């Protein structure tokens, strides 16, 4: 009888240890995921003040938003880049976002942009300005759309969703931009960016 009791106790202790071990691992994983995930929803009520979000706005009558909003957070994510920014976005007409890319390039960040060939010459397009400042831009060469809207920052963070870099997307449309540091997802997006970067090399490189 004592022997049976001993075995039962052993089994109980072992299952408890096993349970605690998996509970710990699950909690760790959940916390990790929470730390690095965010969703930016648009439209914002007002356009964010670029100066406020990347340095300091000294204007007392600034007409742009100093509230914590989605564009402001996007400014900050891009501005915090230290090594690389890989942009793969269908339409880029927002001057402030183009400015942040140019500033990043000027402080030594490698900036690469992939966009749709038919959006390069639309009114307000920032592509020629980016090119003239030295940003490497490549486009598809097809009547189908290069329709992605994602950015990889420092190979550590991706922002992906429906958000084109346009004024209409910022203050008009319903849009989302998922931000994550999930390494598996980052690798998938990095691979896709590299594939497209190579694919668009010959035809439309600057
Ligand atoms: Zn301001």
Q: Are residues 86 and 3 in the same domain?
A: no
* 3-state secondary structure (DSSP) of residue 145: coil
pLDDT tens track of the chain, all 206 residues? 667 777 777 776 777 877 776 676 766 665 555 558 999 999 999 999 999 999 999 998 999 999 999 999 999 999 999 999 999 999 999 999 999 999 999 999 999 999 999 999 999 999 999 999 999 999 999 999 999 999 999 999 999 999 999 999 999 999 999 999 999 999 999 999 999 999 998 654 44
pLDDT at 13: 74
Quote the CA–CA distance of 128 and 126 in Å, as a whole number. 6
CATH code for the domain of 177: 3.30.870.10
Q: Are residues 89 and 144 in the same domain?
A: yes
CA of 50 to the centre of ligand 1 (A): 7
- pTM recorded for the entire structure: 0.82
Domain count across the chain: 2
CA atoms within 13 A on the CB side of 43: 12
CA of 48 to the centre of ligand 1 (A): 8
CA of 166 to the centre of ligand 1 (A): 20
Q: Are residues 72 and 160 in the same domain?
A: yes
Q: Are residues 145 and 132 in the same domain?
A: yes
CA of 176 to the centre of ligand 1 (A): 24
DSSP designation for 63: -
Q: Are residues 144 and 58 in the same domain?
A: yes
Identify the active-site residue in 147, 191, 203, 205. Answer: 147
Task: Judge whether 86 counts as a catalytic residue.
Answer: no
The answer to whether the CB of 114 falls within 8 A of the CB of 196 is yes
Where b means 16+ CB within 10 Å and e means fewer, 70-80 reads bbbbbbebbbe
pLDDT at 204: 46
Task: Judge whether 149 counts as a catalytic residue.
Answer: yes
Identify the active-site residue in 66, 95, 154, 182. Answer: 154
CA of 146 to the centre of ligand 1 (A): 34
The answer to whether the CB of 161 falls within 8 A of the CB of 178 is yes
Q: What angle do CA 26, 27, 28 make, to 5 degrees?
A: 90
The answer to whether the CB of 106 falls within 8 A of the CB of 134 is no
Q: Are residues 19 and 78 in the same domain?
A: no
Rounded to a whole number of angstroms, the CA Rg of the chain reads 23
Distances (CA, A) of 156 to 17, 36, 66, 80, 84: 35, 10, 27, 12, 10
Range(s) of the domain holding residue 190: 36-204
Q: Are residues 115 and 154 in the same domain?
A: yes
Q: Are residues 93 and 119 in the same domain?
A: yes
pLDDT at 138: 97
Task: Judge whether 52 counts as a catalytic residue.
Answer: no
The answer to whether the CB of 105 falls within 8 A of the CB of 85 is no
Quote the CA–CA distance of 85 and 104 in Å, as a whole number. 8
Quote the CA–CA distance of 148 and 141 in Å, as a whole number. 15
CA of 67 to the centre of ligand 1 (A): 10
Identify the active-site residue in 73, 148, 149, 157. Answer: 149
């Amino acid at each position: 009888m004592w022997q049976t009791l001993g075995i039962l106790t052993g089994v109980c202790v072992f299952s408890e240890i096993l349970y605690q071990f998996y509970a710990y691992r699950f909690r760790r994983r959940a916390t990790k995921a929470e730390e690095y995930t965010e969703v930016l929803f648009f439209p914002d009520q007002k356009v964010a003040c670029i100066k406020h979000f990347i340095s300091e706005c000294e204007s007392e009558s600034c007409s742009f938003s100093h509230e914590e909003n989605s564009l402001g957070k996007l400014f900050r994510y891009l501005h915090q880049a230290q090594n690389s920014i890989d942009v793969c976005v269908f339409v880029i007409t927002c001057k402030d976002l183009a400015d942040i890319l140019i500033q990043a390039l000027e402080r030594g960040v490698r900036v690469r942009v992939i966009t749709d060939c038919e959006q390069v010459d639309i009114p307000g397009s920032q592509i020629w300005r980016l090119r003239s400042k030295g940003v490497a831009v490549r486009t598809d060469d097809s009547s189908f759309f290069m329709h992605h809207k994602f950015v990889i920052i420092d190979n550590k963070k991706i922002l992906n969703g429906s958000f084109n870099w346009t004024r209409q997307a910022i203050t008009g449309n319903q849009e989302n931009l998922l931000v994550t540091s999930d390494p598996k997802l980052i690798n998938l997006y990095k691979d896709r960016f590299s594939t497209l970067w190579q694919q668009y090399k010959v035809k439309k490189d600057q």
